[in-house]
A and B are shown apart, each in its own frame.
Chain A
Amino acid sequence: MTIYGAAIIAGCMFVGSFIGDALGGLMGIDANVGGVGFSMLFLILITGSDLFGKKSSAATSEGLEYWQSMYIPVVAAMTASQNVVQAVSGGVMAVLAGLIAVAVGFALLPVLNNMFKSYEVERETEVKGE
């Protein structure tokens, strides 16, 4: 059934959020640490398992794919309910700090990406050398 697909995602989200909240609690901070990430890992593991391959029907996959395809509309709805006025009226400092932080992030991305690339190559040549 199609609902099974949605139920699997919801189940993963429950367990993942639980772990995220527990991690936050253990660290003594009022935040969910990696809840969505853990949920995603569970979903990958469950849907990649042999049992899932054997037991699930096409309708289950449709249920999963339906919510996947709703992602962009949900994001559009999310942007339409952002507090844009506050962002714009937060003053020059807030705007500048936010913008420059993003610029720095974009500048760091190719650096890290390349650093890791060379690391990967090194490891490969090491293995070959042995």
Chain B
Amino acid sequence: MNAVFEVAQNIMINNGLVMSFLFIGLLMWFSTIISKYLTKGRIHSSAIAIILGLVLAYVGGVLTGGNKGIADIAAFTGVGVLGSSMLRDFTIVSTAYGASISEIKKCGIVGIISLLLGVVSAFLIGAIFAVCFGYADAVSITTIAAGTVTFVVGPVTGSALGASSPVITISIAAGVVKSIAVMVVTPFAAKRIGLTTPKAAMIYGGLMGTTSGVAAGLAATDTKLVPYGAMTATFYTGLGCLLCPTVLFWLTRLMF
């Protein structure tokens, strides 16, 4: 019996990416079934797939102690390849095929405003919580606040300012929480906040910024909106890396 298991595991390991098609295919199929019969179609199957994916990522993380979710289990490393930033960005770019250039032109200014507002508001929230939880030095406050912007901006800012390792870890955690919250909440909140048009999707991408969060959130809401949200979100991390260690750090230092 053990031998059979070993052979199966070796097939999974040696054909990682291809076996991930099987695994994710089954996950999508299972999500469709749940969506259809358990929620009577009220919750989109992509939203269920994303939530199930997060549960699997948690299980993988607990079992292995690694940081790549289920992809840290040897038999499922292929899932990490399929879900890598390379293929994520590749498929995001592909969604632009068929998008309307006039819709994008229409919201140039509001796109820029939403980006600035998105970075500054996330930074402010992060800074407020850092102060509330007893951090009093400008470097730690800025790093945690930058992490709330996205989990890339946190460590970039932290290492530029020389923040301590636990503070950088907290900043990454804040960013990951944000990104996951965006994935889960978006499909449920979409209608209520008017996230139904290309223009709203561009504002949403600028305000949320986390590429993975926006990608998954819009996938579960309306695939047609993906290119518009992704378009602005792609500038967010760069803007955050630009503003946090410079202007926003400087402003924070004036106060602390």
Contact = CB atoms under 8 A, between A and B. Distances in A.
B185 A36 contact: no
Interface in B73-87: 76, 79-80, 82-84, 87
B238 A77 contact: no
B126 A101 contact: yes
Interface stretch (B5-13, B34-42, B52-60, B247-255): B52-60
A78 B148 contact: no
Interface of A: 9-10, 12-13, 16, 20, 23-24, 27, 29-37, 39-41, 43-45, 47-48, 64-65, 67-68, 70-102, 104-106, 108-110, 112-113, 115-116, 119
Which 3 A/B pairs are nearest by Cβ-Cβ distance? A90-B173, A98-B177, A33-B238
Contacts of A82: 53-54, 57, 69, 176, 179-180, 212
Interface of B: 20, 24-25, 27-28, 31, 46, 49-50, 52-54, 56-58, 60-62, 67-71, 76, 79-80, 82-84, 87-99, 101, 104, 107, 109-110, 113-114, 117-118, 121-122, 125-126, 129-130, 132-133, 144, 147-148, 152, 156, 169-183, 185, 189, 193-195, 199-200, 203-204, 207-208, 211-212, 215-216, 219, 223, 226-227, 230-232, 234-235, 237-239, 241-242
7 contacts: A36-B230, A37-B230, A37-B231, A39-B93, A40-B230, A98-B148, A101-B125
Contacts of A95: 173-174, 177
B174 A43 contact: no
Contacts of B62: 85
A75 B181 contact: no
Most central of A84, A105, A108 by chain B CB within 10 Å: A105
Contacts of A102: 178, 181-182, 185, 208
Given A41-B231, A105-B182, A116-B109, 19 more contacts: A12-B93, A36-B89, A44-B101, A65-B97, A68-B95, A73-B25, A74-B82, A75-B216, A76-B83, A78-B216, A79-B212, A80-B54, A80-B60, A81-B83, A84-B57, A85-B57, A97-B129, A101-B122, A102-B178
Contacts of B52: 76
B24 A73 contact: yes
Contact of B83 (A77, A101, A112): A77
A35 B69 CA distance: 26
A47 B97 contact: yes
B94 A79 contact: no
A109 B207 contact: yes
A13 B50 CA distance: 25
A108 B117 contact: yes
Contact of A78 (B67, B93, B199, B212): B212
Contacts of A98: 148, 173-181
B35 to A, nearest CB: 13
B177 A94 contact: yes
Nearest to B63: A85
Contacts of B182: 102, 105
Contact of A43 (B53, B71, B97): B97
Nearest to B228: A40
A104 B94 contact: no
